[in-house]
Amino acid sequence: MAQNTITGAGHVRVAEGLRVLFRRASDLESLCEYIDRQEEHHKQRTFQEEFRMFLEKYHVEYNEAYVWD
């Protein structure tokens, strides 16, 4: 968790310009572990692939032309 910084109750700064919220202090450790595993996780599946799966799982209609830069 060296790159993550606790910025206040219920907030963790995980990258420049990115913060996450959590409800209970007991959630902090598992949240930081989840964040720390993301680089390894995305070696298996890209963020774009995972995001598409999420949209499809929840039946969210989208147009690829407007999703990515």
Give me the domain span that covers residue 5. Answer: 1-36
Task: Tell me the whole-structure pTM to 2 decimals.
Answer: 0.45
Looking at the structure, do residues 30 and 49 belong to the same domain, yes or no?
no
Looking at the structure, do residues 27 and 55 belong to the same domain, yes or no?
no
Q: Retrieve residue 56's tokens.
A: 């499809």
Burial class (CB in 10 A: 0-12, 13-18, 19+), 12: buried
Looking at the structure, do residues 28 and 51 belong to the same domain, yes or no?
no
Domains in the chain, number: 2
For CA atoms 42, 39, 30, 17, the dihedral sign is negative
Please tell me the predicted confidence (pLDDT) of residue 53. 92
Looking at the structure, do residues 30 and 59 belong to the same domain, yes or no?
no
Looking at the structure, do residues 32 and 50 belong to the same domain, yes or no?
no
Mean pLDDT by 10 residues, the chain (69 residues): 50 57 73 80 83 93 86
Please tell me the predicted confidence (pLDDT) of residue 16. 59
Looking at the structure, do residues 29 and 52 belong to the same domain, yes or no?
no
